[in-house]
Chain A
Amino acid sequence: MENPKPDLGRSLREFSADWNSDNSRVNRHGFAVLYRKELADHLESRRFWILFFLLLIISMVSLRGALNTISGAASQASSQGQSITDFLFLALFTTSGSSIYSFSTFLGFLGPIFGIMLGFDAINEERSQGTLNRLAAQPIYRDTIINAKFCAGATVIFITIFSIGLLFTGAGIVISGIEPRAEEFARIAIFLLVAAIYICVWLSISILFSTLSKHAATSALGCIALWLFLTMFLSLFASGLANMLYPADSARATMMDAINNYRVRVGFSRISPYYLFNEVTSVLMNPNIHSLDIMSTLESEYSQIASYLTLGQSVLQIWPQIVAMFAETVIGFAVAYICFMNREIRA
């Protein structure tokens, strides 16, 4: 133990020697082949296209609904000589119609299903087909299998989200005649990126379930149960917990209690990627919103100057949410990875 100082040069040389070694080359080649096969499998599968067209149709319907609402509000506003917002194009993504949800809400709801669809049978299907041991006997490291599967799934998610998002944008421009400004474009691009990360959370969770459970049906049901819980019921648990810790509605409740109650509720809700995604959407797609914290919201009622947040400041507000979603993806995948590496290959 005489050399505690890390030798960067040597580490780099070792890394490059390892990276360029024959075995690494062979492994990378295997990864590429497997990745391409997985990608082709996804893109050729019927369930992918069903969900893709479902998302596409829904996005077009929600665009229609948003346009109705906005044109109604706009004509009302212009009759009073005002405009509703400077970021009219962004409103297309977040405004709901009279009987239909907005695009961002739909993405928040159906995105997880898309992610689950891509991953729930990743490992157990190979196992039940008897292809896993054949695959593992090819000249690749074992983790290459799960890595390639995750990368292929994530690629499909990015392709899907960006193609649907851009189709939505294009259709929005053509139908509404509103021209998005550069900043709006940037916000849309970041929004789509975050949506893709949000769906990747569910991809990694579903891959985890597929390594844990033997049957594809079990893993699909497990994923859907978790999705329902995190999307629908976690907020109930959160408010229950908050009310237990800081009862805010009793006569003796102080202002502090109310604030703490809120913070516990929100903090607990933020476990759910769905909640995080909604927070990101609300800030990113509405520059009017300055902060997500209750104190600054209270302050703003009295002291805030009515202005729009710049893009950089909006992103700064939601940076923790983005990082949290990224972390959830990484944790889900890491656990799946460890489980997969420790499982016996044999059926």
Chain B
Amino acid sequence: MSDIIIHTEELVKQYGDVTAVDHLNLRIGEGEVFGLLGPNGAGKTTTTLMLLGLTEPTSGHAWIDGHDCTRESLAVKKEVGYLPDNVGFYPDMTGRENLLFSGEMNGLSKEAAKSRAVELLERVGMTYAADRKTGGYSRGMRQRLGIADVLMKDPRIIIMDEPTLGIDPAGMQELTHLIRELSVKDGRTILISSHELFQIQEISDRVGIFVGGRMIACGGIEELGAQIESDEKLYQLEIRAEKAGLRREEAEELLMKLVRGIPDVRAVQRTQTGMIHIDAGSNIEAQLLTVLVGNGFVLREMHERGGDLYEIYRKYFEKAGEQNGSTDNRNGNGESQAGFGQKLAGILR
């Protein structure tokens, strides 16, 4: 791997009794796109703020390009562009004026700032709204202007916090493409934090999974997948089946009962989308089909799952949950994490 440009060592941040970030060790190479993945309240934003020197760590250190993030925050801020979640602009200024302000803050002359703003507005596709006041911008427009705003600085490193939150699918794809381009075309290092798994999977070279302030896994997507498979053999299936003469709920109840009876099946649960999810220790497809046919079910859908980031995430997430104890509800994470898994399932389909 190339030179390490972002580096943290035993980084800890506590708010009162709550540990938002717990002994974080992170190494990100130059030119890499690193995804910080985790549910809300996992400490992602706190980590990005500490990297920028906007929040002081309780203990530990962070360096960006050799500069201590806490002590030499100015040197860090010169090189790092930051796109906060829910980025805001001065509502009484136009998009262009906001960009010019950022440009001048970063030492560009008026002319240089102007020409760069024109170029960047074109690049993020905001030229049409450049001279409107940002107070009337939609969320997607603000986010795109935010990327232009970060690029006004021409940073080597970009830190983005939930850049696609609350953006419609089309806009999301466009944005993802844009972000990917920043890395591939311009060779910038990007640290992107998100709970949108799908997007992280698409953009990132490497992923760090963050739960309850700790990074529980880190590596390339294949690497993470391999780590899980070596842990235990797991087959995952999702099926939807119907039986004539039974209502849907009754059919599902019966089906789940039948599936549980198959040897080697570890867990059976309903998903959000009305499918039935099966974890098994060996390939049970043949037995499953026999059972279905034998009981008069008609199979409508069957998917094999696994290998994508969702599964990886789910596995790590479950493991972390076991370690924390299922009743552990610190930060109020317990609830949001449960909801998070379901939401992820929705996104992936």
* A residues neighboring B (CB under 8 Å): 23, 26-27, 29-30, 33-34, 37, 41, 44, 129-131, 133-134, 136-142, 344-347
For B, the interface residue count at a CB cutoff of 8 angstroms equals 31
Asked whether B112 is an interface residue with its Cβ less than 8 Å from the other chain, the reply is: no
Known interface pairs A30-B105, A33-B105, A34-B105; A130-B86 also in contact (CB < 8 Å): yes
Q: How far is the CA of A27 from the CA of B92 in the complex (A)?
A: 25
User: Which label, helix, strand, loop or mixed, suits the secondary structure of the B interface?
Assistant: mixed
Report yes or no: A139 in contact with B89, Cβ–Cβ below 8 A. no
A37 to B104, CA, bound (A): 11
Is B54 a contact partner of A136 (Cβ separation < 8 A)? yes
What is the chain B residue whose CB lies nearest that of A344? B55
Q: Which A residues are in CB contact (< 8 Å) with B302?
A: none
The minimal Cβ–Cβ distance linking B143 to chain A, given in whole angstroms, is 12
Contact with A along B74-92 (1 / 0, CB 8 A): 1101101110101111111
A139 touches B90 (CB 8 A): no
The answer for the CA separation of A70 and B344 in the assembled complex, in Å, is 81
Residues of B within 8 A of A134 (CB): 82, 84, 87-89, 102, 146, 149
CB neighbours of B82 from chain A (8 A): 133-134, 137
Shortest distance from the beta carbon of B207 to any chain A beta carbon, whole Å: 24
A141 B89 Cβ-Cβ under 8 A: no
Contact among A23, A131, A138, A345 with B49 in the assembled complex (CB-CB below 8 Å): A345
With known contacts A137-B52, A344-B55, A345-B54, A131–B89 Cβ distance under 8 A: yes
Q: Given that A30-B105, A346-B55 are contacting pairs, would A137 and B77 also be in contact in the complex, using a CB cutoff of 8 Å? A: yes
Query: How far does the alpha carbon of A141 sit from the alpha carbon of B70 in the complex, in Å?
Result: 11
**Assembly CA distance A130 to B104 (angstroms):** 20
**Is there an interface contact between A27 and B74, defined as CB atoms closer than 8 Å?**
yes
Q: List chain B residues, Cβ under 8 A from A346.
A: 45-46, 49, 54-55
Closest Cβ–Cβ distance, residue B281 to chain A (whole Å): 45
In order of increasing CB-CB distance, the 6 nearest A-B pairs are: A130-B88, A137-B82, A129-B88, A138-B105, A345-B54, A139-B78
Q: B101 near A33 (CB under 8 angstroms)?
A: yes
Q: B74 — which chain A residues lie within 8 A by C-beta?
A: 23, 26-27, 139-141
Residues B86 and A138 in contact, CB atoms below 8 Å apart: no
| A133/B54 in contact, CB under 8 A | yes
24 A-B pairs with C-beta separation under 8 A? A23-B74, A23-B75, A26-B78, A33-B105, A41-B92, A130-B87, A131-B88, A131-B89, A131-B90, A133-B49, A133-B54, A133-B84, A134-B84, A134-B87, A134-B89, A137-B82, A138-B77, A139-B77, A139-B107, A140-B74, A142-B54, A346-B45, A346-B46, A346-B55
Q: Which of B107-131 contact A (CB under 8 A)?
A: 107
The smallest C-beta distance from B140 to any residue of chain A, in angstroms, reads 15
Chain A interface helix/strand/loop/mixed: helix
The answer for the CA separation of A142 and B54 in the assembled complex, in Å, is 8
Q: Is B106 part of the binding interface, using a Cβ–Cβ cutoff of 8 Å?
A: yes
Which B residues are in CB contact (< 8 Å) with A142? Answer: 54
- Given A134-B149, A137-B52, A346-B45, also A29-B107 (CB < 8 A): yes
Q: A33-B101, A134-B149 are in contact. List 19 more A-B contacts (CB 8 A).
A: A23-B74, A23-B75, A41-B90, A129-B91, A131-B88, A131-B90, A133-B49, A133-B54, A133-B82, A134-B89, A136-B54, A137-B84, A138-B77, A139-B77, A139-B106, A345-B49, A345-B54, A346-B46, A346-B55
Q: Which chain A positions have C-beta within 8 A of B101?
A: 33, 37
Take A137-B52, A139-B105, A140-B105 as given contacts and tell me if A129 and B90 are in contact as well, using a CB distance cutoff of 8 Å: yes
Question: Which chain B residue has the least Cβ–Cβ distance from A45?
Answer: B92
Chain B residues positioned under 8 Å from A27 (CB to CB): 74
Task: Report the minimum CB–CB distance from B18 to chain A (whole Å).
Answer: 13
Cβ-closest chain B residue relative to A347: B86
| Residues of B268-295 whose CB lies within 8 A of A | none
What is the CB-to-nearest-CB distance from B60 to chain A, in angstroms, rounded to a whole number? 18
B49 lies within 8 A of A129 (CB): no
Asked if A130 and B84 make an inter-chain contact with CB atoms under 8 angstroms apart, the answer reads yes
Minimum Cβ distance to chain B for residue A145 (Å)? 11
Which of chain A's residues have a CB closer than 8 A to the CB of B46? 346
Q: A27 to B105, alpha carbons, bound, how many Å?
A: 9
| Residues in A neighbouring B89, C-beta threshold 8 A | 129, 131, 134
Distance, CA A23 to CA B104, complexed state (A): 16
Report how far A158 CA is from B82 CA in the complex, Å.
36
Q: What CA separation (Å) do A347 and B46 show in the bound complex?
A: 12
B20 to chain A, nearest CB (A): 11
User: How far apart are B33's CB and chain A's nearest CB, in angstroms?
Assistant: 20
Residues of B contacting A131 in the complex (Cβ-Cβ under 8 angstroms): 88-90
Distance (whole angstroms) from the CB of B337 to the closest CB of chain A: 21
Complex Cα spacing A139 to B77, Å: 5
In Å, the complex CA distance between A194 and B160 comes to 48
Q: Which of B55, B80, B87 contacts A345 (CB 8 A)?
A: B55
Complex CA–CA separation, A30 to B105 (angstroms): 5
Which B residues are CB-close (under 8 A) to A345? Answer: 49, 54-55
Of the listed residues B77, B101, B105, the one surrounded by the most CB atoms of chain A closer than 10 A to its CB is: B105
Within 17-52 of B, Cβ neighbours of A (below 8 Å) are at 45-46, 49, 52
